[in-house]
Amino acid sequence: MTVPASAGRRRMDVMTSTEPSIFSRIVAREIPADVVFESDAVIAFRDIAPQAPVHLLVVPKTEQYRDVAELAAGDPALLAELVATASRLADELADGHFRLVFNTGAGAGQTVFHVHAHVLAGGLEEASLGGA
Ligand code: 5GP
């Protein structure tokens, strides 16, 4: 089977990139964002393409972890802080009910390989997973 040369090259580009991620550039205020919370370790801002009335991204400031599986294995306390931040922001900015999504891998829709939680809240009734 022939594998297109470009496939391996793209993967190497991602794996060897030394460019800061787009989220690190938001942390550094190089790119503007609607920041709703910031601590020493975590930043939260509104998604630029919202999929719900309230759609936040909660992001560790470190870009050491590409996805939630790496974060859970490497720093479970930081993952817990992400979840606690999501919950608190859903209380403050919506009715406290929220969906937490971690796209993990390109095949699952992940486009930014700096771990982040999508917090979706406000009027989710019609889009509930498994809700009959
Ligand atoms: P993923 O597809 O990796 O799970 O999620 C990446 C998310 O980042 C997408 O929902 C996308 O809309 C959001 N996003 C990408 N670039 C920017 C940006 O420059 N600013 C903000 N606020 N969100 C962004």
Q: Which atom of ligand 1 is nearest to the CA of 31?
A: 19
- Within its chain, how far is the Cα of 65 from the centroid? 11
Percent of the chain with pLDDT over 70: 82
Is 130 within a domain?
A: no
Element (H, E) at 68: helix 68-74
CB-based contacts of 124: which residues, under 8 Å, 6+ apart? 52, 97, 99
Is 128 within a domain?
A: no
pLDDT at 126: 60
- Condensed to tens digits (0 to 9), the pLDDT of residues 85-115 reads 999 999 999 999 999 999 999 999 999 999 9
- Condensed to tens digits (0 to 9), the pLDDT of residues 29-52 reads 999 999 999 999 999 999 999 999
Is 92 within a domain?
A: yes
Amino acid letter, 46: R
Is 64 within a domain?
A: yes
State which of 25, 34, 47, 102 you would mutate to test the pocket of ligand 1, scoring each by most atoms of that ligand within 8 A of its C-beta: 47
- Integer Rg of the chain from CA: 16
- Containing domain of residue 22, as a range? 5-123
Is 84 within a domain?
A: yes
d(CA 18, CA 112): 14
pLDDT at 18: 79
State which of 35, 55, 58, 112 you would mutate to test the pocket of ligand 1, scoring each by most atoms of that ligand within 8 A of its C-beta: 112
Is 38 within a domain?
A: yes
Q: What are phi and psi of 55, to 5 degrees?
A: -135, 105
Q: Which of 49, 32, 47, 61 is nearest to 89 (CA)?
A: 47
CATH number for position 105: 3.30.428.10
Is 129 within a domain?
A: no
Per-residue pLDDT band for 6 (boundaries 50, 70, 90) equals very low
Which protein residue's CA is at the shortest distance from atom 24 of ligand 1? 48
Q: What are phi and psi of 17, to 5 degrees?
A: -65, 135
* Sign of CA pseudo-dihedral 50, 51, 56, 59: negative
Place of tokens 């509930």: 128
How many domains in the chain?
A: 1
* CB of 7 shorter than 6 A to ligand 1: no
State pTM to two decimals.
0.87
Is 113 within a domain?
A: yes
